[in-house]
Amino acid sequence: MRDMKRVCLALIALLSAFRLAAQTDRQLVMKLDDPGKPFTLNVNIGRAAINVSGYEGKDVIVEANAEGITATEKNNEVTVLSSNRKAFVRLDIKVPKTMGIFKLSSLNGGTIIVNDVTGNLELQNKSGGISAFNISGTVIAGTLSGKINVSFKNVDPGSPMAFSTVSGAIDVTFPASLKANLKVKQDNGRVYSDFPLTGDPTDWRYGKAGGGGPEILIKITTGSIHIYKRE
């Protein structure tokens, strides 16, 4: 009985440290401690299709199609967890359009899709693809056998980026004002680039966009790479 009490007290203490979401029909509304400041979104769920999009609100809203999804918020950091490892989860998350850090990863789920956000994106998948559209900031994306499709509105000029997969395809669209050092490699497939690349086709190819800048690494083993310039 005493143990139960201790556990209860501990839980209460824990709950008061973190804010748990208000739940309405499997929709979790996470209020940020400081809505003006940058936020972080962490999602690391084994079998998930993660859909994140920017909207005009101030909260982070998480919708799931399965049981066992919880979310916590502390100091503007929102973490979404799943208690059910086997279930395939589809998450729809709305985030503010202000600066954010996104660490999203899945293994054998579906695609990770992020649209209309600003900030630093770390996207990791295994057998699913990665899509990111209308991004202002930095993207580091890796998967094993999926397609990577990223399109930038603006690029963070001081930050390196990377896009890598073993099989599939990599399509990246940069604004024409891009200033970066491109470093591109593929084993079997084609490389098409709006930015001129030089080098041995069986090894790394290099190109300077806008006179050069931080390094952007693009690597695929089997599949093609397309690098587009958006005017």
Partner 1 sequence: MKCEEYRNQFADWYMERLDAAKKAELEGHLDTCADCREALAATQFVLDSISNLPDPEPSARVRADFRTMLDEFKAVEEKNVPPNGFWGQLKRSWALQPRFSLAYSLMVLLVCVSVVFLISRDSKQEADVRDLRAQLNELKQTKLLALLDNPLASERMKAVNYTGEMKHVDGRVINALLTTLNNDPNDNVRLSTLEALAALGNQPEVRTGLIKSITMQNSPVIQLAIADVMLKLQEKRSVGSFKALLKQKDLDNEVKRKLKETITKLI
Of 126, 214, 219, the closest CA to residue 172 belongs to 219
Tell me whether residue 134 or residue 222 sits nearer to partner 1 (CB atom).
Answer: 222
Out of 27, 98, 136, 159, the residue judged to bind partner 1 by CB under 8 A: 159
Vertex 42: Cα angle to 115 and 225 (nearest 5): 45
Task: Report yes or no: 9 and 16 within 8 Å, Cβ to Cβ.
Answer: no
Amino acid at 43: V
Out of 144, 154, 208, 228, the residue judged to bind partner 1 by CB under 8 A: 144
Out of 70, 79, 164, 224, the residue judged to bind partner 1 by CB under 8 A: 164
Start-to-end Cα distance in the chain: 69
Out of 20, 61, 166, 191, the residue judged to bind partner 1 by CB under 8 A: 166
- Using CB under 8 A as the binding rule, whether residue 122 contacts partner 1 is answered as yes
- Using CB under 8 A as the binding rule, whether residue 94 contacts partner 1 is answered as no
Minimum distance, C-beta of residue 10 to partner 1, in the bound complex (Å): 27
Binding site for partner 1 (CB under 8 A): 101, 120, 122, 124, 138, 140-142, 144, 156, 159-167, 183, 187, 203-204, 214-215, 217, 219, 221-222
